[in-house]
């Protein structure tokens, strides 16, 4: 799913709108009319526009809910009433007349009030730094010691140049996990020349150590492109290709190179599924720190069996995902359509949910929009969410499917819309479905919103925050099961 572009408010248009709203207020027009009449009569006091003290006018306008958009207070510049709220030419003519009258009366305009004095910090008091996007500076590794170790390692290579097979020793000399060797090689430009020199490598690694103060920041620096805002999926390709080619637990894949890309795709999607909680398509340094991905990469060196690393690198999990996808893909074009998806789980997924999956609400690829089909990468997200519905990403996956209007809450209208089809399917099999009102009462008891019987947007809605923070609780799980239930449920009346 492509990341959404944040909205940028058109500030100037908003200021003009608020100014015209203030100008068209009847009270404002009466004050402007009275001020203009008094100025034309010869007793022009500039304060009549505002009725006295500017601060009192500001307080009065704020108390009435009005907004002054063109400056804090309008003083010394009376306006005539415009012909309409959108006609400000009369205001400009009145402004010119006002200046002429003020010149004739030889009354100097009021000077604007001086700005209030700013509160300065006491001498010697400084706010300590609290934001460290590249890690907190502190007692890090000894830079001179690391450089000396790297120089000794390169001295053992021919012409003091290291190739891809030599980068494992270099990575250990740098104090990095073994499988950082490919990112180190690519970060210094090794693929262009086939090898890296000691001087070029030390210049790169010294810059990384000086500017990055923890493993997450260094890993980001090695993999990300210059000026990039986080790690994209293609940035993990060097690391994962090296794992496939060199890890002993994947040695059997050398005889099946056609599965290399599919295993890499699966691992990449699992990384973003677990780490990229913002659904932006780019992993930030903060998300990397909160995850266990770097710890799992470090475990690759000591663990010869990748199946013991189930969170990201398990080949057994890849095999199950791929076989399931292949069984649904009737024409084996590595794309599945709505009819193929309908066969999953013996038709357990309703057609309305399938339509939501293919609508782009939970997918990242463009194939859904252009071809109306689901790619293997998108299917990985679906199957993980289908098999384990307890993770935060899985909860958000299905929440997005059910949230038809995308307002961040599930209304009873939306839940009933999806339940109708399932109820009809139960009736077709001779099973009497539970009435939706009773089901909604049970759901509210299990979700247990923060305000009893009420979601974050009112009595007929349940938000993602309530689902994620409270979880789904059964009658004996400490939720709302012990609460007396009203006949229609306190949260579903009159939907």
Which pLDDT tens digit goes with each residue over 375-404? 999 999 999 999 999 999 999 999 999 999
Burial of residue 125, with CB atoms counted within 10 A of its CB: 0-12 exposed, 13-18 middle, 19 or more buried: exposed
Phi and psi at residue 299, to the nearest 5°: -75, -20
pLDDT in tens, 399-416: 999 999 988 888 889 999
Domain layout of the chain by residue ranges: 11-104, 143-211, 403-470
Asked if 303 and 309 touch (Cβ cutoff 8 Å), the reply is: yes
Single out the residue of 325, 334, 418, 459 nearest to residue 380, CA to CA: 325
Which stretch of DSSP H or E encloses residue 345?
A: none
Phi and psi at residue 411, to the nearest 5°: -85, 165
For the chain, 495 residues long, give each residue's pLDDT as a single digit of tens.
444 444 455 566 777 777 877 887 888 888 888 888 888 887 655 444 444 444 544 444 444 444 444 344 333 444 444 444 434 444 444 444 444 444 444 444 455 566 555 556 566 667 788 788 888 887 677 888 999 999 999 999 988 899 999 999 999 999 999 999 999 999 999 899 899 999 999 999 999 999 998 999 999 999 998 877 899 999 999 999 999 999 999 999 988 888 999 999 999 999 999 999 999 999 999 999 999 999 999 999 999 999 999 999 999 999 999 999 999 998 889 999 999 999 998 888 999 999 999 998 898 777 676 788 899 999 999 999 999 999 999 999 999 999 999 888 888 899 999 999 999 999 999 999 999 999 988 888 888 776 654 444 445 556 665 555 544 433 333 333 333 333 333 333 233
Cα dihedral 214→218→224→229 (10° resolution): 30
Written as six digits, the tokens of 1 are 């799913």
In percent, the amount of the chain with pLDDT more than 70 equals 70
pLDDT in tens, 209-234: 999 989 999 999 999 988 778 999 99
Superfamily name with CATH number, domain 403-470: EF-hand (1.10.238.10)
β-pair partners for 409? 463
Asked if 282 and 232 touch (Cβ cutoff 8 Å), the reply is: yes
Single out the residue of 444, 463, 440, 460 nearest to residue 452, CA to CA: 444
Asked if 383 and 370 touch (Cβ cutoff 8 Å), the reply is: no
Asked if 338 and 355 touch (Cβ cutoff 8 Å), the reply is: yes
Asked if 66 and 25 touch (Cβ cutoff 8 Å), the reply is: yes
CATH for 143-211, options being 3.40.50.740, 1.10.238.230, 2.60.40.2470, 3.90.1300.10: 1.10.238.230
DSSP string, 129-140: P---TT---SS-
Fold match between domain 143-211 and domain 403-470 = yes
Residue ranges with strand state E in 175-328: 196-197
Q: How far is the C-alpha of 400 from the C-alpha of 360, rounded, in Å? A: 10
Distances, alpha carbon 376 to alpha carbons 122, 166, 318, 443, in Å: 61, 35, 11, 33
């Amino acid at each position: 799913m492509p990341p959404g572009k944040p909205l940028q408010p058109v500030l100037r248009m908003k200021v003009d709108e608020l100014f015209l709203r203030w100008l068209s207020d009847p009270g404002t027009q009466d004050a402007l009319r009275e001020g203009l009449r008094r100025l034309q009569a010869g007793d022009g006091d500039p304060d009549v526009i505002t009725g006295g003290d500017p601060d009192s006018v500001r307080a009065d306008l704020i108390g009435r809910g009005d907004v002054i958009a063109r400056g804090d207070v309008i003083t010394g510049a009376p306006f005539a009433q415009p012909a309409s709220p959108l006609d400000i030419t009369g205001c400009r003519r009145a402004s010119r007349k006002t200046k002429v009258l003020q010149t004739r009366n030889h009354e100097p305009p009021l000077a604007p009030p001086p700005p209030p004095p700013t509160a300065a910090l006491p001498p010697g008091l400084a706010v300590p730094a609290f934001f460290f996007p590249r890690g907190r500076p502190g007692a890090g590794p000894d830079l001179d010691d690391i450089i000396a170790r790297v120089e000794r390692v390169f001295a053992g290579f021919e012409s003091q140049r290291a190739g891809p097979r030599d980068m494992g020793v270099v990575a250990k000399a740098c104090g990095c996990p073994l499988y950082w060797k490919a990112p180190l090689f690519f970060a210094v430009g090794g693929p262009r020349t086939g090898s890296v020199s000691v001087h070029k490598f030390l210049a790169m690694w010294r810059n990384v150590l000086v500017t990055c103060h923890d493993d997450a920041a260094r890993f980001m620096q090695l993999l990300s492109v210059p000026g990039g805002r986080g790690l994209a999926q293609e940035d993990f390709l060097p690391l994962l290709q090296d794992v496939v080619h060199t890890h002993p637990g994947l040695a059997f894949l050398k005889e099946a190179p056609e599965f290399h890309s599919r295993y890499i795709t699966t691992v990449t999607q699992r990384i973003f599924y677990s780490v990229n909680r913002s659904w932006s398509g780019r992993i930030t340094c903060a998300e990397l720190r909160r995850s266990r991905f770097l710890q799992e990469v470090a475990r690759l060196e000591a663990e010869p069996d990748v199946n013991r690393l189930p969170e990201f690198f398990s080949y057994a999990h890849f095999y199950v995902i791929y076989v399931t996808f292949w069984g649904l893909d009737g024409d084996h074009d590595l794309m599945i359509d709505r009819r193929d998806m309908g066969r999953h789980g013996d038709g357990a997924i309703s057609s309305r949910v399938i339509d939501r999956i293919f609508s782009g609400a939970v997918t990242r690829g463009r194939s859904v929009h252009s071809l109306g089909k689901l790619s293997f990468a998108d299917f990985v997200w679906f199957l993980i969410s289908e098999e384990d519905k307890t993770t935060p990403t899985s909860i958000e996956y299905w929440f997005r499917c059910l949230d038809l209007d995308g307002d961040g809450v599930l209304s009873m209208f939306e839940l009933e819309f999806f339940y109708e089809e399932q109820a009809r399917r139960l009736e077709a099999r001779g099973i009497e479905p539970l009435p939706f009102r009773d089901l909604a009462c049970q759901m509210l008891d299990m979700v247990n919103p923060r305000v009893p019987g009420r979601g974050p947007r009112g009595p007929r809605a349940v938000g993602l925050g309530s689902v994620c923070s409270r979880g789904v609780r059964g009658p004996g799980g400490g939720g709302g099961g012990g609460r007396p239930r009203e006949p229609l449920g306190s949260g579903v009346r009159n939907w």
